Amino acid sequence: MSTTLQNDLLLRALLREPTPRRPIWLMRQAGRYLPEYRATRARAGGFLQMCTNPEIACEITLQPVNRFPLDAAILFSDILTIPHAMNLGLDFEAGEGPKFERPVRTAADIARLPVPDPGRELKYVVDAVALVRRELNGRVPLIGFAGSPWTVATYMVEGGGSKTFGQIKRMMYEAPRDLHRLLEVLAKSTILYLNAQIAAGAQAVMIFDTWGGVLTPAQYDEFSLRYMAEVVDALTRKADGRRVPNIVFTKGGGAWVKKIAAIGCDAVGVDWTTDLAAARAQVEGRVALQGNLDPAALFAPPEVLRMETRRVLESYGAGAGHVFNLGHGITPDVDPERVALLVETVQAYPVAAA
User: What CATH number is associated with residue 273?
Assistant: 3.20.20.210
Q: Which domain holds residue 120?
A: 28-283
pLDDT at 323: 98
pLDDT number for residue 354: 46
124 is catalytic: no
Rounded Cα–Cα distance for residues 19 and 8 (Å): 9
**Mean pLDDT, contiguous 10-residue spans, the chain (354 residues):** 87 97 97 96 90 97 98 97 96 84 97 98 98 98 98 97 96 98 98 98 98 98 98 97 97 97 98 97 97 98 98 96 97 97 96 56
In a domain, 132, yes or no: yes
Handedness of CA 181, 150, 255, 77 (dihedral sign): positive
- pLDDT score for 1: 64
> Residue 330: inside a domain, yes or no?
no
pLDDT at 2: 65
Cβ contacts of residue 351 below 8 Å, gap of 6+? 20, 21
The pTM of the full predicted model, rounded to 2 decimals, is 0.97
Confirm whether 32 is a catalytic residue: yes
* Catalytic residue status for 21: no
* Torsion sign (Cα): 68, 70, 72, 75: negative
Which residue in the list 21, 41, 67, 226 is annotated as catalytic? 41
Question: Which residue among 12, 16, 22, 28 is the active-site one?
Answer: 28
HEC states along the chain? Answer: CCCCCCCCHHHHHHCCCCCCCCCECCCCCCCCCCHHHHHHHHHHCCHHHHHCCHHHHHHHHHHHHHHCCCCCEECCCCCCHHHHHCCCCEEEECCCEEEECCCCCCHHHHHCCCCCCCCCCCHHHHHHHHHHHHHHCCCCCEEEEEECHHHHHHHHHHCECCCCCHHHHHHHHHCHHHHHHHHHHHHHHHHHHHHHHHHHCCCEEEEEECCHHHCCHHHHHHHHHHHHHHHHHHCCCEECCEECCEEEEECCCHHHHHHHHCCCCCEEECCCCCCHHHHHHHHCCCCEEEEEECHHHHHCCHHHHHHHHHHHHHHHCCCCCEEEEECCCCCCCCCHHHHHHHHHHHHHCCHHHC
C-alpha distances out from residue 23 to 11, 70, 155, 259, 343, Å: 9, 8, 32, 25, 9
Known catalytic residue at 38: no
The verdict on residue 279 lying in a domain is: yes
Residue of 8, 78, 178, 271 marked active site? 78
Asked, for residue 97, whether it belongs to a domain, the answer is yes
- The answer to whether the CB of 324 falls within 8 A of the CB of 345 is no
- Report CA-CA distances (Å) from 325 to 124, 206, 289, 334: 28, 13, 10, 15
In a domain, 8, yes or no: no
Q: Report the domain count for the chain.
A: 1
105 is catalytic: no
